[in-house]
């Protein structure tokens, strides 16, 4: 097994390719399933989540968080900055979750949900933007 400059064990070429392929396939799988649940909840329910009762908003929320998980996995293939990758996933989930609550406003929930979730999404988006712009500049962090 190869080692890095600091002496830590590094996966070999086969292991690294395997990790990359599994991460890519899992990320795409989460994004596709999440988009399916979000954009076509009845179809997703009829083909995947066949347990009663059908709940459109629940499937929209499930889709939102699946998209967030997938976005984080895919971002991890492009960036090694753990905080940035976490912000990509959380921001993707928060934005889609906010949209879910806006389009499902008549299905229950609290009146404050869209406001609070919108604020959360906006703050995460701002943090992601700042991290992207200034990563590596603050206190020597990557």
Print the domain residue range for 127. 31-134
**pLDDT value at position 20?**
94
φ/ψ of residue 58, rounded to 5: -60, -45
Does some domain include residue 140?
Answer: no
Considering its fold, how many domains does the chain have in total? 1
Beta carbons within 8 Å of 118's beta carbon, 6+ residues apart? 98
Inside any domain, residue 24: no
Residue 15 pLDDT: 87
Side-chain-side CA neighbours of residue 117 (13 Å)? 20
Tell whether 104 is covered by a domain.
Answer: yes
Q: What is the pLDDT along the chain (142 residues), one digit of tens a residue?
A: 565 666 666 677 888 999 999 999 999 999 999 999 999 999 999 999 988 999 999 999 999 999 999 999 999 999 999 999 999 999 999 999 999 988 888 887 676 777 888 999 999 999 999 998 887 655 445 4
């Amino acid at each position: 097994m190869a080692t890095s400059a600091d002496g830590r064990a590094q996966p070999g070429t086969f292991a690294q390719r395997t990790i990359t392929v599994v991460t890519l396939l899992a990320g795409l799988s989460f994004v596709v399933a999440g988009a399916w649940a979000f954009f076509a909840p009845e179809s997703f329910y009829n083909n995947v989540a066949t347990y009663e009762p059908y709940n459109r908003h629940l499937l929209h929320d499930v889709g939102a968080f699946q998209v967030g998980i997938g976005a984080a996995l895919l971002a991890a293939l492009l960036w090694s900055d753990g905080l940035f990758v976490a912000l990509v996933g959380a921001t993707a989930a928060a934005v889609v979750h906010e949209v879910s609550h806006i389009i499902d406003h008549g299905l229950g929930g609290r009146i404050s949900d869209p406001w609070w979730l919108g604020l959360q999404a906006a703050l995460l988006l701002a943090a992601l933007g700042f991290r992207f712009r200034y990563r590596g500049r603050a206190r020597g962090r990557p």
